[in-house]
Structure 1
Amino acid sequence: MRARTIYPDNLMNFADLGLSDELLAAVTDAGYSEPTPIQASAIPSVLMMRDMIGIAQTGTGKTASFVLPMIDILAHGRSRARMPRSLILEPTRELAAQVAENFEKYGKNHKLSMALLIGGVSMGDQVKALEKGVDVLIATPGRLMDLFGRGNILLTGCSLLVIDEADRMLDMGFIPDIEEICTKLPANRQTLLFSATMPPPIKKLADKFLTNPKTIEVARPATTNTNIKQMLVPAPAQGFKKRDLLRRLLRTDDVGTAIIFCNRKTTVRELNKSLKKHGFRSGEIHGDMEQPQRLAELDLFKRGEINILVASDVAARGLDVKGVSHVFNFDAPWHPDDYVHRIGRTGRAGATGTAYTLVTPEDAENVANIEKLTGQTIERLELSASPETAELEEPRTSSSDRARGDRRRGGRGGDDRGSRPDRAVPERNAFEDAKPAQPRPERGEQRGDAETGRRGRHGGDRRDREDAAFAIDGVEGDGGWNGPIPAFLSATITISA
């Protein structure tokens, strides 16, 4: 086995990859001319009908590396009722939906039929689509297994299988479903597996179900886009004061379109309500919302009817909206790689962006881990005292809390002796006297109300896992972007035959 390395300056044009004229026209209409490294390496191999393992991080354009050749492969042949010709498995419904959007965009000059099997939408409509016959079936494992169990779908005519985001499938406990699905497909098929990492269970899956695969690995450092200006903003630990600070940033900086990330979905709801109360055009998106609500809110954001989207952390991976000028981390992320994905929603395709992270003393360890991962020291931005004097959201105090406060001050409660103003406390840097960070939940553990959507690598009903794993995970987090390679994608590709 021989490996070779390809650097970004060796890139070809899409016209050099063997794609049809109709497909090249669609790619050009979408505004792309040069493939990313993984696209340049993977597309010819897929067209040659080889099994393939693609190891690449989000933002490298790996979705287009299988969408484009699949369109040309499927251009020849005819679909039959309930027997899809190809199958793409995605871990979340939002990622599946955005992959479907890419098939529509790039396949506009081909007459291919497609069905999307995801939870949260009418099963009846999906059954009708299958009855007509489809060339491309994009599905989450739970809904696919449900319809298969009902006899609404046959997989014996499927000649091409794509397992996307395999390591996320592992985290969500879907590997047994994937294995069962693979046993129901023809043995003589082409299989493509994509994953950001290759832990042992994923390697075992590949060894079992792929035949002599070509491995293409895009090695990208865990770094952040150099087009993004990053700043840490020391903030009080109290939520309402953090909101005050956030509003100041939203009003004083030139914010066009912004995404605000929170660690918990309850924080998402409360913060969106607060922003609306203060006159901002904001919306929210999190896992407690029904699918139609999620899509409607995202559509409002894309159309510009709202310009601020408050999102739970799982939305960090893959949310693709053009022209996002700012990202705000209302909560510092628990895991450093989430920081990279969050702020990557701005500064895309050569544009510049700004990312603010509001940090409290308790976030000192998280910040240190982020800076260690990215290999850079993030600039600190110290703000002067707030000019806002009319705070609409003072913390509520219960009668029992007031009584305890009065007793501490020597009062008996219910009189005016405890009503004197609090003594002024001098400001200090948010990183001085930092308290030890609270223990952070590990990946795969339940985080209380935190919306991770992961239940470890085992257990849980598959439909529950899909609902919990709500993510707006589209097209590698780049919306199918295939443009020129920015500096932060100084990647190497290792190909093993």
Structure 2
Amino acid sequence: MTFADLGLSDKLLQAVETAGYSEPTPIQAEAIPAILMMKDLIGIAQTGTGKTASFVLPMIDVLDNGRRRALMPRSLILEPTRELAAQVAENFEKYGANHDLKMALLIGGVQMGDQLKALNEGVDVLIATPGRLMDLFERGKIMLNGCELLVIDEADRMLDMGFIPDIEFICSKLPATRQTMLFSATMPPVIKKLADKFLTNPKQIEVSRAASTSENIAQFKVMMTPRKKKEALRWFLRNDNVNTAIVFSNKKTTVRDLAKTLKKDGFKVGEIHGDMDQSSRIAELDLFKSGQINILAASDVAARGLDIKGVSHVFNFDTPWHPDDYVHRIGRTGRAGAKGRAFTFVTAEDAEAIANVEKLTGMVIPLYAPAKPAPSAEAEQETRAAPEKSREDRSPRGERSPRKPRSERSEPKARTDRDEDNARPEPSEAKPARAPRKVSDKAAEPRRNYREDRDPPSEPGEWNGPVPGFLDISAT
């Protein structure tokens, strides 16, 4: 199936082709025709499935014909965070390049003057966070009775952030005959109740089981003590073939501390958290997207919906307090068919939190345990020369094997001149030659001082170098 099979206009297909896409994702294939037919829609999809384009593309065609009016947006898209709203705006600019549509971004953390100017001129698409929209509505700066389409994106995140009362108020001010689309990774009872109240006979699409994690992501939990976390993070960043990585923490203070520590260690790292103003957050994201920094320390403000290509790793420096956040954090990698790796650092205090994550995702996250290094060639040769006796073949402790007759003993090897010089007085009876001693596994192991320039593990979950020190102390 191609985008042309979905009923999109030629102008839109040209923009999609210019963006480098040829085949729709499963949710796009199901959602786009339904939206073009003006049906209400519930989309249950995990992050990274192309959900944003599934409503942006048909909305552009639906809104292509119509007239703009001052202070009365023709469509409204509600997003839980500023970053998500900005990302949706980027999608509209990219796919709507061949259409005459005006868009406005209504978010906190930026000056309100330009936003009010855009609203006064009239917009086809208003992308907003609930807080800023409620602020302007209460001031009488915006009217919602001309809105034809409503999109509630990341509804479960809206619930977590306490926006459901605001959404209910906003929906009550919109025309009853509008088209409504609701997207969510999970469908808790509160969201189901919201959908039943404000959607009319919706088509429900579920492209994957709710709260499932992508099969493209190799997931591991790493058991350790809290004091070993930074050492572990540095080790993975240097030894696991990390191209770009996002490191998630539960607290803003931890994010700032991590960014500072990793910079001192020579890593190219940025940070993003709720205490930063919007312009600073956008600047950090732009540096990360452009490759000027390749590690981003982040709080959960960055966990939802950010589509950044090429993120090879996600590290949960802290096990997330809410299991839903785990799904969305690791969803920053393994996107659009790419492979990714996700590591969650788990301490003894995180036992309940990680159990809740595994219950939600329906899987037991494998424990990361590097493989023991292979013995050296010399050790293998010596081991093969003297195979270990079975327990039954060994002599009882304290007893010696009976001595063979002299005639059955092997001939002693010829002495060299050097042997003559260092020879000891020969006993009256030569003892039998002792078998080469087997090198134990512990003796064959190299020292635990790992080298930073070793090759990355060839298989998921395996490391062929020395066992890193932070795994010596287990929280299990």
Same fold (TM over 0.5): yes
Q: Quick check: 1:286 aligned with 2:330? A: no
Cα deviations by residue, 1:233-275 (Å, 9 ceiling, x for unpaired): 343321xx42123222222332221111112111111111111
Name whichever of 188-197 and 97-106 sits farther off: 188-197
For structure 2, the residue ranges without an aligned partner over 5 or more in a row are 372-446, 452-468
TM-score, normalised on structure 1? 0.71
- What is the rounded CA distance, in whole Å, between the counterparts of 1:176 and 1:369 in structure 2? 27
Secondary structure at the aligned position of 2:108 is classed as: coil
Residue 152 of structure 1 corresponds to 141
TM-score, normalised on structure 2? 0.74
Offset at residue 135 of structure 1 (A): 0.6
- What is the rounded CA distance, in whole Å, between the counterparts of 2:45 and 2:448 in structure 1? 45
AA aligned to 1:355 is A
- What is the rounded CA distance, in whole Å, between the counterparts of 1:427 and 1:18 in structure 2? 55
Matches within 5 A, 1:121-140: 121-140=110-129
Q: Quick check: 1:334 aligned with 2:321? A: yes
Give the conservation status (yes or no) of the 8 Å contact 1:234–1:381: no
Offset at residue 33 of structure 1 (A): 1.9
Q: CA RMSD in A?
A: 2.6
- What is the rounded CA distance, in whole Å, between the counterparts of 2:214 and 2:181 in structure 1? 29
Offset at residue 368 of structure 1 (A): 4.5
Q: Quick check: 1:263 aligned with 2:263? A: no
For structure 1, the residue ranges without an aligned partner over 5 or more in a row are 1-11, 389-424, 433-497
Would the alpha carbon gap of residues 110 and 327 (structure 1) be closer, same or farther in structure 2, given more than 3 Å must change?
same
AA aligned to 1:256 is N
- What is the rounded CA distance, in whole Å, between the counterparts of 2:209 and 2:356 in structure 1? 18
Give the conservation status (yes or no) of the 8 Å contact 1:329–1:356: yes
How many residue pairs end up in the alignment? 384
Give the conservation status (yes or no) of the 8 Å contact 2:186–2:211: no
Q: Quick check: 1:319 aligned with 2:306? A: yes
2:474 to 422, 430, 437: 430
Secondary structure at the aligned position of 1:380 is classed as: coil
- What is the rounded CA distance, in whole Å, between the counterparts of 2:341 and 2:222 in structure 1? 13
2:37 to 45, 48, 53: 48
1:209 to 198, 203, 214: 198
2:293 to 294, 306, 309: 306
2:217 to 214, 223, 228: 228
Residue 18 of structure 1 corresponds to 7
Would the alpha carbon gap of residues 227 and 45 (structure 1) be closer, same or farther in structure 2, given more than 3 Å must change?
closer
Q: Quick check: 1:197 aligned with 2:186? A: yes
Secondary structure at the aligned position of 1:230 is classed as: strand
2:232 to 233, 245, 254: 245
Would the alpha carbon gap of residues 246 and 79 (structure 1) be closer, same or farther in structure 2, given more than 3 Å must change?
same
Give the conservation status (yes or no) of the 8 Å contact 1:325–1:346: yes
Secondary structure at the aligned position of 1:58 is classed as: coil
Would the alpha carbon gap of residues 101 and 173 (structure 1) be closer, same or farther in structure 2, given more than 3 Å must change?
same
Give the conservation status (yes or no) of the 8 Å contact 1:223–1:340: yes
Identical aligned pairs, as a percentage?
73
Secondary structure at the aligned position of 1:194 is classed as: strand
Secondary structure at the aligned position of 1:356 is classed as: strand
Cα deviations by residue, 1:211-232 (Å, 9 ceiling, x for unpaired): 3332333342644333333333
Residue 277 of structure 1 corresponds to 264
- What is the rounded CA distance, in whole Å, between the counterparts of 1:426 and 1:113 in structure 2? 54
Residue 394 of structure 1 corresponds to none
AA aligned to 1:194 is F
Give the conservation status (yes or no) of the 8 Å contact 2:83–2:302: no
Give the conservation status (yes or no) of the 8 Å contact 1:91–1:141: yes
Offset at residue 106 of structure 1 (A): 0.9
- What is the rounded CA distance, in whole Å, between the counterparts of 1:229 and 1:207 in structure 2? 37
1:180 to 169, 187, 191: 169
Name whichever of 148-157 and 369-378 sits farther off: 369-378
- What is the rounded CA distance, in whole Å, between the counterparts of 1:179 and 1:340 in structure 2? 26
AA aligned to 1:381 is A
Residue 101 of structure 1 corresponds to 90
Would the alpha carbon gap of residues 255 and 205 (structure 1) be closer, same or farther in structure 2, given more than 3 Å must change?
closer
- What is the rounded CA distance, in whole Å, between the counterparts of 2:283 and 2:149 in structure 1? 32
Secondary structure at the aligned position of 1:66 is classed as: helix
Matches within 5 A, 1:360-379: 360-372=347-359, 373-379=361-367
Give the conservation status (yes or no) of the 8 Å contact 2:250–2:300: yes
Secondary structure at the aligned position of 2:150 is classed as: strand
- What is the rounded CA distance, in whole Å, between the counterparts of 1:50 and 1:139 in structure 2? 22
Name whichever of 17-26 and 307-316 sits farther off: 307-316
Name whichever of 209-218 and 126-135 sits farther off: 209-218
- What is the rounded CA distance, in whole Å, between the counterparts of 1:353 and 1:22 in structure 2? 34
Would the alpha carbon gap of residues 335 and 211 (structure 1) be closer, same or farther in structure 2, given more than 3 Å must change?
closer
Cα deviations by residue, 1:7-54 (Å, 9 ceiling, x for unpaired): xxxxx3211111001111111222222222222222112111122222
Name whichever of 203-212 and 74-83 sits farther off: 203-212
Question: Whose radius of gyration is greater, 1 or 2?
Answer: 2
Offset at residue 174 of structure 1 (A): 2.2
